[in-house]
């Protein structure tokens, strides 16, 4: 499920009434328990893969490639996975992928038991598990609003964060003892079994019936284009993505280097590796518990800056103090800092997205997250190979500090996501006859009459409105003033087809309606603005 954090459970609603906690809703509770169990197995699997690689190929470059193989598939596949999650049945999609991932994990366990594992084979299995994670990540995040009512959404996101970090605290430590006591194949086999808990929960869950579709389902490529277009024209989402890339690129250093820090710097074994990862999880849980109050006092932008500075402290400790106690303290600080940044960024992404593009927008956030982690793992692995582990960690810490200053102008969104609900206020377009869905492109024009003293404010408001037109489907937008009649303005935008324009009617949000009403308030004509639709003529068939 989602690994983000918002206000603490029991926080008052905007009306002052207490909000029921997410565990009041059985579907959320069942899926939460199942995913905590599965995530414990996943963390055990990750520890096993990292530790196994230190035995098969102990160089920093090879060990860092395990993290790359985990995160690269998400970078490559998150966007199409998000599009699929927006156009397919999310429950059935999750069920199918969870079953396949169970089989892959079991197969890796058998290969290790037989002594047939090689560095390349381990990376291939890790990559396959990453593909499964890539396909399911947007869908998991997108189903949260269907498990609880809107007023409990932020609390549900917060509780998911706590659950994921409980598993982060238990799984690695448990894996260390299991590897030492049973063998390195055991975490992979246990992970395979853990997927069955999620399969059972998904089979039990009956999500609410989706709204009846009045228009044909989007095709995959069209849905992907719509998701990218929305992200490109959403200032709030772009700010979140910029801050995410700047943080995860440098924070990836200790994730990629931790197995080597344990084996080569601390001269420890699998138990110490598991304990340190468990400390990261404990730090994350502790950080999550205090994050709501911290965000209220500091605001999201300062929380991300503070979390980044905490990560810098952890990197410096890992680089300069080489004993297990200092490494444990560094891990606690790293976990608390990680959850502060990750959950604040995740809430910012969630509150930037309307429902129609939620999974696609979150998939782009996940793409930036894992892309930065993949790139960082490669960079810090190569840096450690040539200059040493400590030098790589010191360089990453300096880069993280610089990133705070370079991205400070990108402000995060933590507003009321209810304003992104569909407004459905656009009237049906007037046409003389039925228009085929594939006709296009379509040009829409709106004529305004504006008094000269209001011209500057009107143009500024239309510029804001243009972002909504482009987010919802337009590929071009313009505003023009009549040279022969000052004050007469024509707004025009184009969409690729009549069907895409009809989809615009369903996508426009309450916030967009408010901006449009501000624009209409400047209109001074006796009649409402004239709206016209022009469709490119059909090409006659060749003779």
Q: What is the pLDDT of residue 470?
A: 94
Query: Strand, coil or helix: what is 269?
Result: coil
Under the banding of pLDDT at 50, 70 and 90, the label for residue 541 is low
Q: Which of 370-379, 411-420, 426-435 has the highest mean pLDDT?
A: 370-379
Lowest-confidence region among 25-39, 343-357, 480-494 = 343-357
Tell me the average pLDDT across 61-75: 79
Under the banding of pLDDT at 50, 70 and 90, the label for residue 191 is very high
Handedness of CA 354, 532, 451, 474 (dihedral sign): positive
- What is the side-by-side strand order in the sheet with 442-449? 476-481, 488-495, 442-449, 530-535
Domains parsed from the chain with CATH numbers: 22-208+218-419 (1.20.1250.20), 422-535 (3.30.70.100)
Q: What is the pLDDT of residue 9?
A: 30
Give me the helix-helix angle, 26-56 and 60-87, nearest 10°.
Answer: 150
Please write the tens of the pLDDT for every residue from 286-340: 887 787 788 788 888 999 999 999 999 999 999 998 889 999 999 999 989 988 8
The answer to whether residues 300 and 348 touch, using CB atoms and an 8 Å cutoff, is: yes
Please write the tens of the pLDDT for every residue from 325-368: 999 999 999 989 988 898 889 888 888 888 888 888 988 998 88
Q: What is the pLDDT of residue 280?
A: 85
The answer to whether residues 441 and 496 touch, using CB atoms and an 8 Å cutoff, is: yes
488 CB burial (10 A radius; 0-12, 13-18, 19+)? middle
* pTM as predicted: 0.76
Q: What is the pLDDT of residue 3?
A: 39
Tell me the average pLDDT across 64-76: 80
451 CB burial (10 A radius; 0-12, 13-18, 19+)? exposed
Q: How far apart are CA 398 and CA 407, in angstroms?
A: 15
Tell me the average pLDDT across 14-33: 74
Give me the helix-helix angle, 26-56 and 90-113, nearest 10°.
Answer: 30
261: closest CA among 335, 307, 320, 309? 320
Q: What is the pLDDT of residue 540?
A: 65
Give me the helix-helix angle, 324-350 and 153-181, nearest 10°.
Answer: 150
Please write the tens of the pLDDT for every residue from 100-129: 999 999 999 999 999 888 899 999 999 999
Q: What is the pLDDT of residue 160?
A: 80
Q: What is the pLDDT of residue 337?
A: 92
Please write the tens of the pLDDT for every residue from 253-271: 988 888 888 888 888 887 8
Q: What is the pLDDT of residue 210?
A: 65
Q: What is the pLDDT of residue 417?
A: 60
Provide the percentage of residues in the chain whose pLDDT is more than 90. Answer: 37
Provide the percentage of residues in the chain whose pLDDT is more than 70. Answer: 93
278: closest CA among 166, 393, 163? 166
In the predicted model, is pLDDT for residue 1 greater than 50? no
Q: What is the pLDDT of residue 474?
A: 93
């Amino acid at each position: 499920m989602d690994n983000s954090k918002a206000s603490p459970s029991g926080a008052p609603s905007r009306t002052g009434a207490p909000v029921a906690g997410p565990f009041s809703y059985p579907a959320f509770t069942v899926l939460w328990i199942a995913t905590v169990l599965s995530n414990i197995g996943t963390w055990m699997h990750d520890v096993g893969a990292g530790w196994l690689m230190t035995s098969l190929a102990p160089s920093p470059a090879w060990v860092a490639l395990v993290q790359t193989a985990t995160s690269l598939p998400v970078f490559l596949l998150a966007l199409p996975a998000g599009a699929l999650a927006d156009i397919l049945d999310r429950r059935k999609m999750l069920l199918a992928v969870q079953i396949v991932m169970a089989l892959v994990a079991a197969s890796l366990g058998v290969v290790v038991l037989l002594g047939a594992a090689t560095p390349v084979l381990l990376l291939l299995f890790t990559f396959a598990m990453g593909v499964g994670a890539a396909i399911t990540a947007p869908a998991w995040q997108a189903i949260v609003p269907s498990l609880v009512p809107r007023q409990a959404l932020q609390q549900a996101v917060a509780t998911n964060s706590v659950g994921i970090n409980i598993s982060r605290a238990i799984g690695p430590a448990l894996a260390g003892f299991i590897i030492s006591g049973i063998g390195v194949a055991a975490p992979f086999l246990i992970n395979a079994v853990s997927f069955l808990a999620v399969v059972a929960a998904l089979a039990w869950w009956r999500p609410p019936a989706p709204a009846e579709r009045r228009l044909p389902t989007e095709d995959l490529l069209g849905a992907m284009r719509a998701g990218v277009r929305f992200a490109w024209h959403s200032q709030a989402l772009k700010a979140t993505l910029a801050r995410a890339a700047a943080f995860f690129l440098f924070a990836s250093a200790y994730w990629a280097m931790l197995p080597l820090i344990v084996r080569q710097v601390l001269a420890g074994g699998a138990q110490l590796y598991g304990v340190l990862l468990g400390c990261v999880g404990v730090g994350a849980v502790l950080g999550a518990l205090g994050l709501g109050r911290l965000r209220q006092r500091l605001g999201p932008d300062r929380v991300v800056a503070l979390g980044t500075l905490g990560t810098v402290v952890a990197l410096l400790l890992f680089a300069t103090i080489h004993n297990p106690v200092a490494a444990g303290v560094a891990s606690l600080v790293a976990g608390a800092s990680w959850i502060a940044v990750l959950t604040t960024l995740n809430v910012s992404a969630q509150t930037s997205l309307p429902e129609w593009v939620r999974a696609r927008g979150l998939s782009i956030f996940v793409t930036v997250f894992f892309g930065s982690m993949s790139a960082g793992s490669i960079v810090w692995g190569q840096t450690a190979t040539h200059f040493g582990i400590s030098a790589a960690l010191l360089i990453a810490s300096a880069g993280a500090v610089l990133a705070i200053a370079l991205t400070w102008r990108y402000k995060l969104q933590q507003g009321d996501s209810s304003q992104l609900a569909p407004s459905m206020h656009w009237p049906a377009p007037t046409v003389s006859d039925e228009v085929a869905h594939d006709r296009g492109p379509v040009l829409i024009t709106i004529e305004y009459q504006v008094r000269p003293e209001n011209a500057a404010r009107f143009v500024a408001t239309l510029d804001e409105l243009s972002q909504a037109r482009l987010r919802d489907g337009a590929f071009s937008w313009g505003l023009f003033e009549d040279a022969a009649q000052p004050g007469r303005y024509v707004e025009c935008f184009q969409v690729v087809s009549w069907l895409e324009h009809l989809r615009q009617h369903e996508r426009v949000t309450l916030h967009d309606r408010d901006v449009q009403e501000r624009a209409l308030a400047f209109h001074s004509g006796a009649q409402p603005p004239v709206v016209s639709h022009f469709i490119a003529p059909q090409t006659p068939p060749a003779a």
